[in-house]
Amino acid sequence: MPLIYIVEDDEDIRELIVYALSGAGFECAGFEEAGAFRSALEERRPDLALLDIMLPGEDGLSLLKRLRADSRHSSLPVIMLTAKGSEADKVRGLNLGADDYISKPFGVTELTARIHAVLRRAGEGQREEETISFRDLLLNADRREVKVGGESVQLTYREFELLQYLMRNSGIVLSRNRLMDAVWGYDYAGESRTVDMHIKSLRQKLGAAGDYIKTVRNVGYKIGD
């Protein structure tokens, strides 16, 4: 029986979701705020989490960032619950790694179908780990591992995300703004120089494989020829 964690501060909505999903064959636990959810996560990992974006204290998007940065929970399937018509929240959630989103108000049938679809995709992903390679550079997206010539390379969260995005778009010139949006998110208030600094660090850590990352003058970067 799949275990679903629901993080929703509205008690009526939270209890309704728990009741409906329990009736649909799921084991459920509801939480009012992020702290209680994180504590439960340390005790038992669910099969999927439903995160409301508007939460007291740490909001759903920040909580999603925290999950994706933690190697223990980076692959946890997550569906975001968003306010009706909040397009910006949906975009940010998907860019941060949400597997799906559903707008309030929603029907129980639709929610159940979305959960089944995400769990099905997650199960397919578990059967075959995703790896990306370029020459002797290998990136395992599921384990968040990078190897050069069979030797492991330790990267920070942002360095890994940056390398992964470059490798997924091998041969394509990516502007600094595009990299900022994809790796740091639309709401990041940094400068494009941040990309340059991370590229420099990434090249150093990759050693000779760092030469695979090419600078395209006045535009950005690409990996490959």
Rg (CA), the chain: 19
**125 and 33 Cβ atoms separated by less than 8 Å:** no
Dist. CA 3–CA 93, nearest whole Å = 22
Calpha distance 204→216 (Å, rounded):
18
Q: What pLDDT does 190 receive?
A: 61
How far apart CA 38 and CA 14 sit, in angstroms, is: 17
pLDDT tens readout for residues 11-60: 998 999 998 888 888 999 999 998 999 899 888 889 999 999 888 888 88
Sign of CA dihedral 154, 155, 157, 162: negative
Mean pLDDT of 155-160: 89
The conformational region for residue 57 under phi > 0 = left, psi -120 to 50 = alpha, else beta, is left
Contacts of 188 (CB under 8 A, 6+ apart): 180
Model-level pTM? Answer: 0.55
For 160-197, how does the pLDDT look when each residue is reduced to its tens digit (9 = 90+)? 989 999 998 899 999 998 888 888 775 455 666 889 99
